[in-house]
Amino acid sequence: MLMAQATPAVQGHCDPRFAGVREVFAANLRERGELGAAVAVRLDGRLVVDLWGGWADEARTRPWERDTVVNVWSTTKGAAALCAHLLADRGLLDLDAPVARYWPEFAAAGKEGVLVRHLLAHRAGLPGLRQPHGLAELYDWELTVGRLAATEPWWEPGTACGYHALTYGFLVGEVVRRVDGRMPGAFLREEITGPYGIDFAIGLPEKDAGRAAELSHAPAPPAALAWPARATPVTVAALANPAVSAGDANGAAWRAAELPAANGHGTARAVAELYGLMFDGRLLSRAAAERIREGQGACRDLVLGAGLGRDTELGLGLWLSGPWGSYGPNPRAFGHDGAGGSCGLADPEAGLSMGYVMNRMGPRIADDPRKAALVRAVYDAL
């Protein structure tokens, strides 16, 4: 008779002050359906929490290790935004300029007035393509950016917001490429993660495949949260053209692609450090760091609004915690969630950054209960 395998013990270190974070992390593994995960917290430039545990695969044959990396879905968008802000800080990119200044073809179909800031704030009206666009086509950078340049927006750019789930990475990433000449993944590696020794990449180098966690499909959501039942055409375009599953993201084609909105791979430690670079003065000027969280006005998201049930507010590339507290009690804290649970968080006033990564996806696009419990525990310790 086969015996059930016990969940590997929580490993890593945690300052005594943050013992409550360890307790919540362990409770996630015991009680909240966690398979494998890691959480890291940096405070005033010091790593005060660095924990990992559980399993890196659904079959529970590989324990989660210190250097296990995992696809973090839209938590990747913080890295893409950081590339744009670094170029702006260097005086090479004007966030208030029309996108067409850098990408002339983009002016087609009434988009000549779209500003770079509209791309960063999900206000460009391009959350998805109108024509069918499959996974193989998504992996083709030139094809995808060409179709985005040619298409007409779903709404008048700048007048409303709607989550650009996959297109965000192509839009912001192509501007980075037009300004700098490098693809966003190469720019990130050569200008940010490489110099700072951060274990995070857009895509996954083949040499690292053996340490990648296997994503597990989300459980079926409650009927009230099943977005296809309430989908509008713009929601379908954003979230199902193409539809992407956890299984797709475990494949070699996804990992080899350049998807700056969705296929970043890294450790929790790397996410915490990457988000820390957004405010701690090592990479960006103070003015550039403030610009990241420059609120663009609260709105009911045209893609996610019905599912979230409330307004949200974006800065220039990251979500603001606001009165909703998604990233802790400081309304000016900011961050980005990844579908199914992962999160990067930055709170300049607290001197705090946090990364949480996992491989069992929950049904939510944002504010997963596991993440929310960890964020509360972190702030309880301050």
- pLDDT tens sequence across 55-92: 999 999 999 999 999 999 999 999 999 999 999 999 99
Has 74 been annotated as catalytic?
A: yes
Would you state the pLDDT for residue 220? 59
Contact status, residue 305 vs residue 344, Cβ threshold 8 Å? no
Distance CA 238, CA 166 (A): 7
Would you state the pLDDT for residue 306? 64
Contact status, residue 85 vs residue 187, Cβ threshold 8 Å? no
- Residue 357's H or E segment, with its range, is strand 352-358
Tell me the β-bridge partners of 352: 43, 347
- For residue 348, which of 374, 308, 321, 310 has the smallest C-alpha distance? 321
Rg (CA), the chain: 19
Helices (H) and strands (E) in the chain, counts: 15, 10
Indicate the average pLDDT of the chain. Answer: 94
Would you state the pLDDT for residue 8? 80
pLDDT tens digits, residue range 95-151? Answer: 999 999 999 999 999 999 999 999 999 999 999 999 999 999 999 999 999 999 999
Q: Hey, is 179 helix, strand or coil?
A: helix
Scan for tokens 């055409």, then name that residue: 233
Distance CA 210, CA 324 (A): 39
Domain 35-205+215-380, CATH homologous superfamily name and number: DD-peptidase/beta-lactamase superfamily (3.40.710.10)
Scan for tokens 């490489």, then name that residue: 194
Instruction: Identify the weakest region by mean pLDDT among 152-166, 267-281, 293-307.
Output: 293-307
pTM, to two decimals? 0.95
pLDDT tens digits, residue range 190-229? Answer: 999 999 999 999 999 999 999 999 999 866 554 444 444 5
Q: Hey, is 14 helix, strand or coil?
A: strand
Amino acid in position 202: I
User: What are the boundaries of each domain within the chain?
Assistant: 35-205+215-380
- Residue 195's H or E segment, with its range, is helix 194-196
The single residue of 74, 216, 326, 342 carrying the catalytic annotation is 74
Distance CA 195, CA 326 (A): 30
